[in-house]
Each structure stands twice: as structure tokens, then as C-alpha cells.
Amino acid sequence: MKPYCVKTLKLADWEEDIFGLLLAENEDWLLLRHIAGDYQVDGYQLVAKRFITSNKADKWRAQTARVLKLKSVSNEVPQGFAFGTIVDMLQYIEQRYKLFQIKDEEDTCFCGQLRDYDETHYRINSLSPRAVLDLDYNSWFLFDELITIEFGTDYLESLQLLWQDKVRRKWKIDQRNQSN
């Protein structure tokens, strides 16, 4: 197993830093286990390198790395993950985790699933914080403005459970109405 390396990332025009356990990187992206609090790991985060203004593995974070290792937090890349195009990565995430959360240059956050795309843009089916899926969400996003992609977080898993429960309940109501 490779050494535990906890990174502190500063992003252009973002107030908050990103903390994460580095899992892998290519020339365009870093893949991290997202550290939500000092020793609290919550899901994964892909960060576009072109927006990173500072990328440090400082001594202060060495203790965090040590605790994560003591807790046996995996520092392995999720099974089946491979860097590729943004579409490839979003499709992998959807297939394995069902939902993703994206943030763009305006620090706007959206949860959902990939709907369609062309060479420069993509659209999503947006899932609201109340777990309402908007299949007609009609905003196009530029691939070049995508800063982070989060997946496998407690928040997204909770939204997915709520969404599935709402779908099940609606199906049961529809079934009752059809039998009457």
C-alpha cells in the first residue's frame, strides 16, 4: 500500500480549502478521499488541477494522515475507477454510486446524473436537496468550468435513499389507484 499523503488544496477564488487523502492523479485531475473534518473521511472528490493555486502536504496534516492510517481508512482508488474524459468519469460514478455532485467556477453546486453532452457542454438531471429529480433541468454546463466532482458521500447516499423511497411510495400509490 502506498503512503498516506494528506493534501491541503487552495482553489482560485474559493474561500474554503479542500482537504483530502491523495489516492491518484493524472495531468488534469487529483482523486482524493475527501476529509470533511480533521479525521472524518466522507466520500471521494475529483479536483481539476487547473484551478489549484496551492497544493501542499504540510506537516500539520501529517497527524491527520497518521490517524487515517491507524483507522485503516483505505488509500486505494475505488474499484474500476480510471481517469478519462469527464463524461467517462461521470458515467463510472453514476454506474457505481448513482449520483454525483459538481461545483463550477461560480462555486455553484448541483447534484444529479448526466443527461446528455456534446464536445464542450453537458447537462444533468438535477436532484434537489428534497430528493426531487428534475428531468427537464435545462442548464448546460461547460466542461472547462468544472472544478470538483464529489461522489460516495454520506449526503449523496442519503439523497439517493430518500429519492428511492419517494419513487417506491409513488409506485405503491399508483398501483393502488390502478386497482380501484
Domain boundary pick from 55, 83, 111: 83
pLDDT given at position 10: 93
The pLDDT score that the predictor gives to residue 109 is 87
3-state secondary structure of 57: coil
**Same-domain status, 102 and 74:** no
**Rounded distance between C-alpha atoms, residue 81 and residue 90, angstroms:** 10
Judgement on whether residues 122 and 165 belong to the same structural domain of the protein: yes
Q: Which of 114, 56, 61, 67 is nearest to 88 (CA)?
A: 114
- Predicted confidence (pLDDT) per residue in 37-53, tens digit: 878 999 999 999 999 99
Task: Dig out the grid coordinates for 59 from the structure.
Answer: 506537516
Query: In angstroms, rounded to a whole number, what is the distance separating the alpha carbons of residues 38 and 32?
Result: 15
Domain count of the fold of the chain: 2
Do residue 177 and residue 107 come from a single domain? yes
Assign 179 a pLDDT band (cuts: 50, 70, 90).
low
Same-domain check for residues 70 and 116: no
Mean pLDDT of 154-164: 94
Q: Which residue has the higher pLDDT, 104 or 126?
A: 126
In a domain, 89, yes or no: no
Parent domain of 144: 97-180
Distance CA 47, CA 161 (A): 26
pLDDT-derived band at 31, boundaries 50, 70, 90: very high
36 membership: H or E segment, kind and range: strand 29-37
Instruction: Encode pLDDT of 1-11 as tens digits.
Output: 568 899 999 99
In this structure, the answer to whether residues 144 and 76 fall within a common structural domain is: no
pLDDT band with cut points at 50, 70 and 90 for residue 118: very high
The answer to whether residue 90 sits within a structural domain is no
Residues 67 and 102 in one domain: no
Percent of the chain with pLDDT over 90: 65
C-alpha cell, 177: 389507484
Instruction: Indicate whether 119 and 148 sit together in one domain.
Output: yes
Confidence tier at 138 by pLDDT (50, 70, 90):
confident
The residue type of 160 is Q
User: Which one, of 78, 75, 109, 72, lies nearest residue 93 by Cα?
Assistant: 78
Average pLDDT value for residue range 153-166: 93
| Domain presence at residue 91 | no
CATH number at residue 123: 2.30.30
With 90 as the cut, is the pLDDT of residue 13 above it? no
